[in-house]
Structure 1
Amino acid sequence: MSNNWRISSFNGALLAAYFIPVWTIIAFSIMVSPIHGLYERPSVSIALYASDYLHLSKIATVRLAWLLALARITVVAFFAVFLAMTAFSPLRKKSGGSDEALAVALCLGSVLSFASMMMASRVGEIEALRMHAAELLMLLGTAIVMLFETSPKRALEAPVAEAGAPTGELSLQQP
């Protein structure tokens, strides 16, 4: 196996393996039946918050459901782009070839999960709160790994620079 895989690439691929099928199923259930799909477990906190605090009409609730489905599909699309770019070797070998797609997916997914978690805590949906908190922690964990991970090229350049110095002298010493 090649040595140009990074921890964030593996972590992002595992996240994509979870979020792509799960959020696609949720979004398609909302697209097929907006009201019924909105009141299922993954989106019930948003539906209850909208009905309890925003007092939306039926058509506004349908529009909210479609907007939520669009947001979930957008996150899924960015995860799919990340997987495609990661699977293509020349892009993976470049420093950060697919990091942008993963970063956008993490950002949008984190915002959506955080908002859903806050709405679930406001309306008292404990199971939905746990689910959204778990998703948010997965997304934030990957974002933290991406933030602190060094580039593979930088790690390889350091030993090359030291190899040019004579063995008995420090590289900073000048004659």
Structure 2
Amino acid sequence: MSTNWRISSFNGALLAAYFIPTWTIIALRIMISPIHGLYERPNISMGLFASDHLHLAAMTTVRFAWLLALGRLTVVAFFAIFLVFITRAAIRKTGGCDEALGMALAIGSVISFASMIMASQVGEPEAMRLHATELLMLLGTAIVLLVERPVRPPAGDLERSIPSAVPTPQ
């Protein structure tokens, strides 16, 4: 087995395999029908909180739903960029894909945390469990990403990979 895979890269790829299709479908349902999509199971906590606690008008609720869809699609885009980056061994070995994964984890954690808090406020235990599970998956990967060190190439590879500042005479 190749030893150039980091645990955070592998865990990020597994998260991307879950979040890309799931959150894309949720966002597309909101984009097609904002009010109906906002009151489906993955978004019911935000929909009820917006209508019950914030007392938003219909058009403002539509804008709120579109903003939620945009946030979810942003997370999907960062996970997709991360997947593209980990296909290149040079980027994966140096940890160059960590920024895309970090942005996906940060924005996704904020959305999941806010959804979990809203679900607890409106009394939706199933939605709260869903968002808590997603939040724990994202935070677990973030902790591994923060703790894990970048892979160091062997000493011979390091000398060959660093370009010399002084040109060699020919």
TM over 0.5: yes
Aligned length: 156
In structure 2, what is the equivalent of residue 148 of structure 1?
Answer: 147
In structure 2, what is the equivalent of residue 85 of structure 1?
Answer: 85
Secondary structure of the equivalent of 2:41? Answer: coil
Give 1:81 shift: 0.1
Distance in 2 between residues matched to 1:81 and 1:2, nearest whole Å: 22
In structure 2, what is the equivalent of residue 129 of structure 1?
Answer: 128
Distance in 2 between residues matched to 1:31 and 1:89, nearest whole Å: 36
Q: How does 1:14-163 map to 2 (within 5 A)?
A: 14-93=14-93, 95-153=94-152, 156=154
Give 1:97 shift: 1.0
Secondary structure of the equivalent of 2:40? Answer: coil
Distance in 2 between residues matched to 1:92 and 1:138, nearest whole Å: 21
Structure 2 counterpart of 1:16, which letter?
A
Indicate the RMSD between aligned Cα atoms, in angstroms: 1.3
The TM-score normalised by the length of structure 1 is 0.86
Deviation digits for residues 75-111 of structure 1 (CA, Å, limit 9, x no counterpart): 0000000000001222112x21100000000000000
Larger C-alpha radius of gyration, 1 or 2? 1
Give 1:2 shift: 2.3
Q: Which runs of 4+ in 1 moved over 3 A?
A: none
Structure 2 counterpart of 1:87, which letter?
T
The TM-score normalised by the length of structure 2 is 0.89
Distance in 1 between residues matched to 2:9 and 2:92, nearest whole Å: 9
Structure 2 counterpart of 1:99, which letter?
D
Distance in 1 between residues matched to 2:63 and 2:151, nearest whole Å: 45
Structure 2 counterpart of 1:143, which letter?
A
Structure 2 residue runs without a partner (length 5+)? 156-170
Structure 1 residue runs without a partner (length 5+)? 158-175
Distance in 2 between residues matched to 1:15 and 1:96, nearest whole Å: 17
